[in-house]
Amino acid sequence: MTGHVLVAPDKFKGSLSAAEVADAVAVGLRGRMPSLEVRRVPVADGGDGTVRAALATGRFERLPVRVTGPTGRRVDAEIAVNRTTAVVELASASGFALLAPGEFDPLRASSHGTGELLTAALEAGVSEIVLGVGGSACTDGGAGMLTALGARLTDSGGRPLSPGGGELERLAGIDLSGLDPRLADVDLVLASDVDNPLTGPSGAAHVYGPQKGAGPEEVRRLDAALRNFAEVVGRATGESAADRPGAGAAGGVGYGALTALSARFRSGSDVVLELVGFDRDLAGAALVITGEGALDEQTLRGKVPATVAARAAKVGVPTVAVAGKCSLSEHRLRGGGFSAVYALAHLQPDPGRSIRGAAALLHRVGEHIADDFL
């Protein structure tokens, strides 16, 4: 075979990190072909795993940061920094993965810790900040993030609001004059594959609120609170961005970043692939292997495996996918740029055993891919 194999998967959520998936597949490939050149490039879509993907390149350093978690408890987080760029992952500060099932607090959960991560990035003296959003526990429109950065949100009596999206029902004024002045000197990139608006049936509260523990009445309250937030922020900034793509990302953190912080929205998958130098490793490849825990219709709507396959197709390199499970038809897979898919469920139909034994199953998958394609 001429050329190397590029293994560029996302994480298998709840089972293996992207790096662990890549390592396991590589073991299987080399078990069949010991001299095979395998390049492992863990990737992400802007959500959980984005900082790890940046660190795996060796071009970033890990900076630990102690921040306020979504319900007020202090948590350990991290950002990735180099001379010019910082990579910030909302999930590490304000993500629902930080909470036990009984801890979900949809009306009071806050993005304050994400603002603290951005402050740490500013203190690192970078000129660009990539803010990866996804997996948030909050639906506060980014109000907590803005407060941590120096904004002041008040009720009709001029009193500061308490944390959480529910409090935005009482918001009467916002003062952005206290925002960290260093924000004006950085290029803030909002990296997300979520293009929902802020409010309405396709907005942050209705679509993602139930995943964060919100019942029907809480969803209604949060949506109304976000509408009020947008009105107040719109008056202060002179800009109405509630319907812009990405405004509804991460419980509306996208909206706060786009309006008050002048962030620019980009596909999270594209941003991360550029950060990790994917195109450089793609050059000269004979085969690309990508994947994620579940391949489904969401995969084809711009998630990272589909973006990987599209980039590979442009240069004529075939792509195969690995997954815990796959619900896509062969026709849909082919249309998405995948030559084949190898699902762990075909080897181990019991979900619990598949999750626990994912690494060993991926070894076998790697062997099968080598037999079929190399």
Spatial distance between the Cα atoms of 297 and 80, rounded to a whole number of angstroms: 31
Least-confidence region, from 117-126, 237-246, 338-347: 237-246
What average pLDDT score do residues 153-180 get? 97
Spatial distance between the Cα atoms of 295 and 300, rounded to a whole number of angstroms: 8
* pLDDT over threshold 90, residue 194: no
Beta bridge partners of 290: 321
Please, are residues 51 and 89 in contact by the beta-carbon 8 Å criterion? yes
Spatial distance between the Cα atoms of 25 and 40, rounded to a whole number of angstroms: 9
Beta bridge partners of 35: none
Please, are residues 146 and 153 in contact by the beta-carbon 8 Å criterion? yes
Output the DSSP codes for 186-199.
SEEEEEES----SS
Q: Which strands make up the sheet holding 128-132, listed edge to edge?
A: 61-68, 74-81, 85-89, 128-132, 187-192, 264-267
pLDDT of residue 102: 83
pLDDT of residue 2: 80
* pLDDT over threshold 90, residue 99: yes
Q: Which residue has the tokens 């998936």?
A: 21
Among candidate residues 57, 19, 9, 47, the one with its CA nearest the CA of residue 274: 57
Q: Which domains does the chain have, with CATH numbers?
A: 4-41+277-373 (3.40.50.10350), 50-268 (3.90.1510.10)
**Burial class of residue 217 (count of CB atoms within 10 Å of its CB; 0-12, 13-18, 19+):** exposed
What average pLDDT score do residues 305-320 get? 97
pLDDT of residue 113: 98
Spatial distance between the Cα atoms of 21 and 336, rounded to a whole number of angstroms: 21
| 44 token code pair | 């992400």
Q: Which residue has the higher pLDDT, 2 or 361?
A: 361
pLDDT of residue 239: 82
- Per residue in 15-60, pLDDT tens? 999 999 999 999 999 999 999 999 999 999 988 899 999 999 999 9
* pLDDT over threshold 80, residue 81: yes
Pairing of strands 128-132, 187-192: parallel
Grade residue 1 by pLDDT with cuts at 50, 70 and 90.
Answer: low
| 174 token code pair | 């916002």
Q: Both ends of the chain: CA-CA distance in Å? A: 7
What average pLDDT score do residues 221-235 get? 97
Please, are residues 220 and 72 in contact by the beta-carbon 8 Å criterion? no
* SS3 label, residue 223: helix
pLDDT of residue 19: 94
**3-state helix/strand/coil string of 293-331:** EEECCCCCCCCHHHHHHHHHHHCCCCEEEEEEEECCCHH
Grade residue 193 by pLDDT with cuts at 50, 70 and 90.
Answer: confident
Q: Which residue has the higher pLDDT, 66 or 101?
A: 66
pLDDT of residue 14: 86
Among candidate residues 184, 188, 225, 181, the one with its CA nearest the CA of residue 203: 225
- Per residue in 235-284, pLDDT tens? 999 888 899 999 999 999 999 999 999 999 999 999 999 999 999 999 99
pLDDT of residue 302: 81
